[in-house]
Amino acid sequence: MDLERLLKKAEIRGFPGMIGSIDCMHSTWKNCPSAWQGAYGDRKAAKSIIFGAVASFDTWIWHAFIRVPGAQNDLNVLAQYTVFNDVLQGKAPKVTYEVNGRMYDGPYYLADDIYPRWSTFVKIVPCP
């Protein structure tokens, strides 16, 4: 199973319980179709699209999200990610791991500082 493979590889690399890194990217859409330009315009009238993804350390993208129109920030995009549907429905994978003698339940994503303080996100250390 993919989840078991991700968890095993992450644990070997020193990240027990991690199922991937999560982030989104804003990209200018040079050839945006005319009919969609109103929906995909940002605050500066540039046409843009947002790509969200979850990837493992070896850049295997196992979740991609590319359907968010308009000038939205990462938190707006996060609210629309389908990757959290199982968590919200109580069907999250059962994962237990230990770090520094403390037990934790539930998998987590490695995220940058823009993401909220949810138990499913572990923030990166900017200056280790």
Domain residue ranges of the chain, discontinuous segments joined by +: 2-33+40-115
Within 73-123, strands assigned E span 96-99, 102-105, 108-111, 121-123
**Cβ 78 vs Cβ 65: under 8 Å:** no
Residue position matching structure tokens 């991609």: 64
- Each residue of 3-50: pLDDT tens digit? 888 888 898 998 899 988 988 887 888 888 888 877 777 777 778 787
Single-letter code of the amino acid located at 20 = G
Q: Is the pLDDT of residue 74 over 70?
A: no
Q: What is the pLDDT of residue 70?
A: 59
A 10 A CB-CB count for 6 gives 20
Q: How far is CA 12 from CA 9, 69, 118, in A?
A: 5, 38, 24
Compute, in degrees rounded to 10, the torsion defined by CA atoms 97, 109, 111, 40: -170
Under 8 Å between Cβ of 13 and 21: no
pLDDT of res. 1: 61
Q: What is the CA radius of gyration of the chain?
A: 17
Instruction: Give tens-digit pLDDT for 82-126.
Output: 777 777 787 777 888 888 899 988 888 898 888 888 888 888 776
Give which of 69, 67, 70 is closest to 53, Cα–Cα.
67
Predicted confidence at residue 103, as pLDDT, reads 93
